[in-house]
């Protein structure tokens, strides 16, 4: 039995979802909604035969639409998801799920009341490399995690609706929460606006996690070098995930010895030894495809997504704390 799908928004992610819905024999694309005529024109060329509309009612009030994919600016997520859930539709909403935790809690309550799947689009939780890293960390094969460094930078595109934190950091926050299995205890951040005076386009965030783990994240629309880098340093091994490289993950054995304090000052130094580097052979299916297939599976089985609405709420809570710290000039914010 095919699931009828309606898509709202055909900007960046919309065309990808159109393709995935059309390719999947367990779903049927009913309609795509977007008010931007230029975007619709481009999508019509890419997907001849797809029916487009500029009216939300053609999606939300359409009995043939059982589930809605929301791929629109963040500021519209709450209202669109609320209308869709109220109309009895399952919802897959692009990240971040909402702008505020209050909005997220309202959507969670509504999805439970109407017994509908509400799933945030945390695509990296379906990334095979991230999942491989999660298993290594959970099994203690890299020892105790000491710290994590993350970089998500490049030259734009500069957004007008949200700052760089809501645009880029959402990915890494969801990854951090997944890898460590818990929320940070405290957060501090600084951010600056260089292009858009209303929104920060560069931010540096520091996290403290339970278990004496620290993490840092740099997000920027101003960096000429595109980086999608995560480094996890443990007591036994280091994990280096470079998402723009062909060799996406490197596992580095680490070791260190201390020379005894004898003779001159220079004889006391930390001596590091180079460890073996393993490049695991990891199959890399398209994460967005896995995310969409999981969404369909949860609808059919009535099950809770692995990346569920509570996961979406946790990410939004961290985003709020980051922005609060930026507004308060780097003040450390506690998550309770």
The residue that leads in pLDDT, 312 or 159, is 312
For residue 291, pLDDT over 50 is answered with yes
| Lowest-confidence segment of 118-127, 171-180, 195-204, 266-275 by average pLDDT | 266-275
pLDDT of residue 271: 46
Q: What is the pLDDT of residues 1-27, one digit of tens each?
A: 899 999 999 988 999 999 999 999 999
Least confident segment among 73-82, 196-205, 256-265, 285-294: 256-265
Which tens digits make up the pLDDT trace of 94-135?
A: 999 999 999 999 999 999 999 999 999 999 999 999 999 999
When the pLDDT of each residue in the chain is averaged and rounded to a whole number, the result is 93
**pTM reported for the whole predicted model:** 0.92
For residues 162-169, give the mean pLDDT: 95
> With bands split at pLDDT 50, 70 and 90, how would you rate the model's confidence at 266?
low
* Pairing relationship of beta strands 237-242 and 145-155 according to DSSP bridges: unpaired
**207-240 pLDDT per residue, tens:** 999 999 999 999 999 999 999 999 999 999 999 9
* 43 vs 273, higher pLDDT: 43
CA 92, chain centre distance (Å): 13
Amino acid 260: pLDDT: 52
- Going from the C-alpha of 228 to that of each of 149, 220, 244, the distances in angstroms are 11, 11, 6
Average pLDDT for residues 69-73, to the nearest whole number? 97
Predicted confidence at residue 327, as pLDDT, reads 97
User: What letter does residue 267 receive in the DSSP assignment?
Assistant: G
Q: Is the pLDDT of residue 261 over 90?
A: no
> What b/e readout covers 98-133, taking b as 16+ CB neighbours within 10 angstroms?
bbebebbebbbebbeeeebbbbbbbbbbbbbbbbbb
pLDDT at 86: 98
Q: Do the bridges between strand 27-33 and strand 52-53 make them parallel or antiparallel, or are there none, so unpaired?
A: parallel
pLDDT digit string, tens, across residues 43-64? 999 999 999 999 999 999 999 9
Q: Is it the case that residue 162 has pLDDT exceeding 80?
A: yes
The reported pLDDT for the residue numbered 273 is 52
Supply φ then ψ for residue 132, to 5 degrees: -65, -45
With a cut of 80, say whether residue 184 has pLDDT above it.
yes
Q: How many residues can be counted in the chain? A: 336
Q: Is the pLDDT confidence value at 321 over 70?
A: yes
Residue with tokens 């930026």: 326
Would the pLDDT of 323 be above 70?
yes
pLDDT at 270: 47
Lowest mean pLDDT among 174-188, 229-243, 258-272: 258-272
Torsion angles phi and psi, residue 235, rounded to 5: -75, -20
Task: Give residue 336's pLDDT.
Answer: 74
Q: What pLDDT is recorded for position 160?
A: 85
**Separation CA 194–CA 203 (nearest Å):** 11
């Amino acid at each position: 039995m095919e699931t009828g799908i309606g898509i709202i928004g055909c900007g960046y992610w919309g065309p990808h979802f159109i393709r995935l819905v059309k390719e999947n024999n367990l779903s049927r694309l009913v309609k795509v909604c977007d008010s931007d005529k230029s975007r619709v024109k481009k999508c019509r060329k890419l997907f001849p035969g797809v029916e487009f509309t500029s009216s939300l009612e053609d999606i939300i009030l359409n009995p043939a639409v059982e589930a809605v994919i929301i791929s629109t600016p963040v500021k519209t997520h709450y209202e669109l998801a609320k209308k869709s859930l109220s109309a009895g539709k399952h919802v897959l909403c692009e990240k971040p799920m909402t702008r505020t935790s209050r909005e997220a809690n309202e959507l969670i309550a509504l999805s439970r009341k109407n017994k509908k799947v509400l799933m945030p689009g945390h695509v990296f939780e379906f990334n095979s490399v991230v999942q491989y890293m999660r298993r290594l960390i959970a099994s203690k094969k890299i020892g105790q995690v000491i710290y994590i460094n993350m970089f998500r930078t490049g030259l734009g595109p500069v957004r007008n609706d949200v700052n760089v934190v809501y645009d880029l950091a959402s990915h890494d926050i969801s990854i951090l929460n997944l890898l460590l299995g818990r929320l940070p205890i405290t957060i501090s951040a600084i951010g600056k606006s260089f292009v858009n005076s209303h929104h920060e386009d560069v931010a540096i965030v520091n996290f403290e996690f339970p278990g004496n783990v620290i993490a840092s994240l740099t997000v920027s629309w101003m960096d000429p070098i595109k980086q999608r880098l995560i480094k996890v340093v443990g007591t036994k091994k280091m994990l280096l995930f470079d998402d723009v490289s062909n060799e996406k993950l490197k596992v580095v054995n680490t070791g260190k010895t201390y020379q005894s304090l004898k003779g001159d000052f220079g004889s006391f130094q930390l001596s590091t030894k180079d460890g073996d580097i393993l490049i695991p052979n990891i199959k890399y299916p398209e994460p967005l495809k896995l995310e969409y297939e999981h969404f369909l599976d949860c609808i059919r089985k009535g099950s809770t997504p692995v990346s569920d609405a509570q996961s979406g709420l946790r990410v939004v809570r961290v985003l709020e704390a980051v922005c609060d710290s930026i507004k308060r000039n780097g003040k450390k914010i506690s998550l309770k």
